[in-house]
Amino acid sequence: MFAKIEATDPSVAGQYWGAIHKLLLKAKVDGQSLLRVIGTRDLAQLKNAVARLRGEEVVAIPAPPEPVVAEIDPSILQGAMKMFRRRMKFSRLDSESRLGVGPMSSGASRKIESMIPPKEFPTAVWDALVQAGKLRREGQGFYSLVDDTAQSNW
């Protein structure tokens, strides 16, 4: 199965990752580590998880280096930030409009704190916004607003 994943185009390999996900669920793999392996589609971590299941020795995976951020036009950063805030707002409104939130139910509110950024902008833009202090990395590809209450100039 590893060879099939390595040989196929990442956009087509989703069916193999889905099959591996089902197999690891049946093998009672810890949900958090399963999410980390399947969610990031990291083949090295997948091989380590399978080796752990077999009782073999696991190779330590070095942490990825901090990405180098290139200079990005401020207007692009401004547009990305505007889109991120808009999508965060709509996600929160959508979540609050569901059943189970409100005065006639338990009243518990579900507040969305982070989200995966829009795909219209490359990862380098989101990394630049993190370095600029506008966004915070939450892990697993999720980002959150640093100061949600204050509206800055962009």
**What pLDDT shows up at residue 67?**
59
pTM for the full predicted model: 0.49
Q: Which of 18, 67, 63 is nearest to 39 (CA)?
A: 18
Q: What is the pLDDT of residues 109-128, one digit of tens each?
A: 667 888 999 888 888 899 89
Q: 143: helix, coil or strand?
A: strand
Q: Which of 79, 43, 73 is nearest to 61 (CA)?
A: 43
Indicate the pLDDT class of residue 23, thresholds 50, 70 and 90. Answer: confident
String of DSSP letters for 123-142? HHHHHHHHHTTSEEEEETTE
Output 99 or 46, whichever has higher pLDDT: 46
Residue-wise pLDDT for 35-85, tens only, equals 777 777 777 778 887 787 788 777 666 666 665 656 888 899 999 999 999
Confidence band for 7, pLDDT divided at 50, 70 and 90 = confident
Q: From the CA atom positions of the chain, what is the Rg in Å? A: 20
| Rounded CA separation 25/48 (Å) | 16
Local confidence band at 87 (pLDDT 50, 70, 90 cut-offs)? very high
Query: Average per-residue pLDDT in the chain?
Result: 78
Residue keyed to tokens 């100039």: 153
CA-based nearest residue to 34, from 61, 14, 22 = 22
H or E stretch at 6: helix 2-7
**E-state strands within 6-154:** 135-139, 142-145
